[in-house]
Amino acid sequence: MSSTGSDDSYFLLVDCNSFYASCERVFQPALRKRPLVVLSNNDGCLIALTPEARRLGLELGDPYFKKQDVIEKNNVAVRSSNYTLYGDMSRRVRSTLKQFSPHLETYSIDEMFLRLTGSPHRDLTQYGHHIVQTVKKCTGIPVSVAIAPTKTLCKVAMERAKIEGQEDVQNTANWKDPEAVLATLPVEDVWGIGSAYARTCRQAGIKTALDLRNCSSRWARNNLTVTGLRRKRELQGISCIPLEPGSAPKKRITCSRMFGEKITEFQDLREAVLTYTRHACKRLRDDEQCAATVQVFIRTDRFVEEKKYSSITLQGLSQPTDSTHVIARKACRCLEEIYRPHYRYHKAGVILSELVPRDKIQRSLTKAETSPPDEKMMHVFDEINKKFGKNSLQLLGEGLEKNWHMRRNHLSPAFTTRWQQLPIAHTV
Ligand SMILES: [Mg+2]
């Protein structure tokens, strides 16, 4: 690569291979020899596949019901998505990686950036292999590592490794012809170049990552703003996108699901909306934020020939809050406003927005909907659910039957987060 931002600073991108499928395999060794697919919420589509499943012609996004014959014929293992398990395995991978560098950014559930400083003479490729082995040993999850002087080049290297099915460690320093690598990557596949920027690039004859790297800085600045200019520089090996340790506070929190069965009754919808509100409020408190606006949406199935309806509305709060019961009251009001009878509803959701950090709230003297005792109550509420299981305390309006629950017919146990579901080791 041409030049590096600083000679002793390198980025590593660690990507978990077929992450959801790998999590399922860790505690079920019998699955290791079988092709495996993981389904989206409600067992709708294929969202993760092992390479063996891909070789059978299965693809991401395929509707499950359409592929059932191929799946059964080839003895493909099927699992419903188990986000509790995946979230916990992701946490384990992260904490293993922290021993290699305190500078860590969680980019997604299965991708983490690390920044290495110092020790410029260390054999980085070998170090990458050491990381792959350590993560595998400590968590059971197979990972790939890309090493480069910038985050964008890490992404290029990872992309290349995936397409060409290469080594699990890619170090851009070992590329014999870096220009040839960049020339094979279409400009729209450069990390951070969205479809609008890609269109602008193509109109100007910039078709590949190499073209973008070589375009004039002035052109990039004028046509792609500073975002595009940064990508160009990063492709040159000049680091401009720093590591973002700790996740940035969220701007909104959404909790929505498709129902296992379509529902028409207001009462059932209300139960669902209250359940989603409770989950969203828990995430709000975990982030130490409060919401000033609550939105609720409901809709029928877009892909089925039947009467269609969808609507969304919002309610503001006089003061931002994280109290489940206060937000739940507003959510119910939203639902009352948009609900229409005689439709078969397929999905509902709750969105909390206009989020403010809890310690920055301006307290209102006159119209407070919440009070300090509320905070204590919510704390107790969360503690009880932490101790006895996350659904031990619920809102009364959530109902007990929950006929609308998501379909998850192939769910694996919560191996790592529930005492009752720990894997059992057999001794002979
Ligand atoms: Mg991955």
Q: What does the domain layout of the chain look like in residue ranges?
A: 10-172, 176-248, 253-398
CA of 179 to the centre of ligand 1 (A): 25
CA of 20 to the centre of ligand 1 (A): 9
d(CA 283, CA 286) in angstroms, rounded, equals 5
CA of 19 to the centre of ligand 1 (A): 5
Residues 6+ apart with CB under 8 A from 202: 187
Residues of the chain with pLDDT under 50: 1-7
- Taking residue 38's Cβ as centre, other Cβ atoms within 10 Å add up to 25
Determine which helix (DSSP H) or strand (DSSP E) holds 169, and give its type and residue range. strand 169-171
pLDDT at 3: 39
Domain range 176-248, CATH class: mainly alpha
CA of 17 to the centre of ligand 1 (A): 5
CA of 244 to the centre of ligand 1 (A): 19
d(CA 319, CA 364) in angstroms, rounded, equals 7
CA–CA–CA angle 32, 129, 167 (5° rounding): 65
CA of 152 to the centre of ligand 1 (A): 16
pLDDT at 390: 81
**pTM for this predicted structure:** 0.72
d(CA 54, CA 36) in angstroms, rounded, equals 9
CA–CA–CA angle 135, 108, 231 (5° rounding): 110
CA of 417 to the centre of ligand 1 (A): 22
CA of 112 to the centre of ligand 1 (A): 10
Q: In what order do the strands lie in the sheet with 9-16?
A: 104-108, 111-117, 9-16, 143-148, 169-171
CA of 22 to the centre of ligand 1 (A): 10
pLDDT at 1: 40
CATH superfamily of 253-398: DNA polymerase, Y-family, little finger domain (3.30.1490.100)
| Pairing of β 169-171 and β 36-39 | unpaired
Residues 6+ apart with CB under 8 A from 173: 1, 124, 125, 147
d(CA 115, CA 103) in angstroms, rounded, equals 5
CA of 291 to the centre of ligand 1 (A): 32
pLDDT at 5: 40
- Write the DSSP string, 285-338: HHTTEEEEEEEEEEEE-TTSSS---EEEEEEEEEEEE--HHHHHHHHHHHHHHH
pLDDT at 347: 92
CA of 68 to the centre of ligand 1 (A): 25
Q: Could you tell me if 289 and 356 are in contact, meaning their C-beta atoms sit under 8 angstroms apart?
A: yes
CA of 39 to the centre of ligand 1 (A): 16
Alpha helices, DSSP H only, in 192-265? 195-203, 209-214, 217-235
d(CA 362, CA 356) in angstroms, rounded, equals 10
Q: Could you tell me if 253 and 332 are in contact, meaning their C-beta atoms sit under 8 angstroms apart?
A: no
Rama region for 396: left / alpha / beta (φ>0; ψ in -120 to 50; rest): alpha
CA of 130 to the centre of ligand 1 (A): 19
CA of 86 to the centre of ligand 1 (A): 12
CATH superfamily of 10-172: Reverse transcriptase/Diguanylate cyclase domain (3.30.70.270)
pLDDT at 335: 96
**Bridge partner residues of 114 (DSSP):** 12, 104
CA of 258 to the centre of ligand 1 (A): 25
CA of 108 to the centre of ligand 1 (A): 9
CA of 149 to the centre of ligand 1 (A): 21
Q: Smallest Cα–Cα separation from 349: which of 301, 400, 297, 306?
A: 297
pLDDT at 251: 82
